[in-house]
Amino acid sequence: MTMSPNEYVDTRKLAEITGISASTWNKRRLTGDTPPFTKIGKSVRYHVPTVREWLANLQRRSTSDSAAAAA
């Protein structure tokens, strides 16, 4: 499925895109361990390009790489 570059998705669609369950994303949002999101009323939306950038920043070359080394 092709998405517009400025598309916003809900948590369910984020789960489909990433392969991580919506329940896990909901829990991670409580600790701030998610990509930035927009809240409109009770609705949470993620900007797809921002999600992709956030995920790219998590990439590591080995399991011993630290988050500080990737920055």
What pLDDT digit, counting tens, does each position of 41-64 carry?
999 999 999 999 999 998 888 888
Q: Looking at residue 32, what DSSP letter applies? A: T
Residue 50's nearest CA partner among 34, 69, 71, 70 is 34
pLDDT confidence of residue 2: 57
Contact 39, 21 (CB under 8 A): no
**70 belongs to a structural domain:** no
Rounded Cα gap, residues 35 and 61, in angstroms: 21
* Residue 69 in this model has a pLDDT that exceeds 60: no
**1 belongs to a structural domain:** no
**17 belongs to a structural domain:** yes
pLDDT confidence of residue 71: 47
Q: Kindly state the average pLDDT of the residues 24-29.
A: 97
Where is 54: in which H helix or E strand?
Answer: helix 48-56
Residues 6+ away with beta carbon under 8 Å from 1: none
**43 belongs to a structural domain:** yes
**25 belongs to a structural domain:** yes
Residues spanned by the domain of 20: 8-58
Number of domains present in the structure of the chain: 1
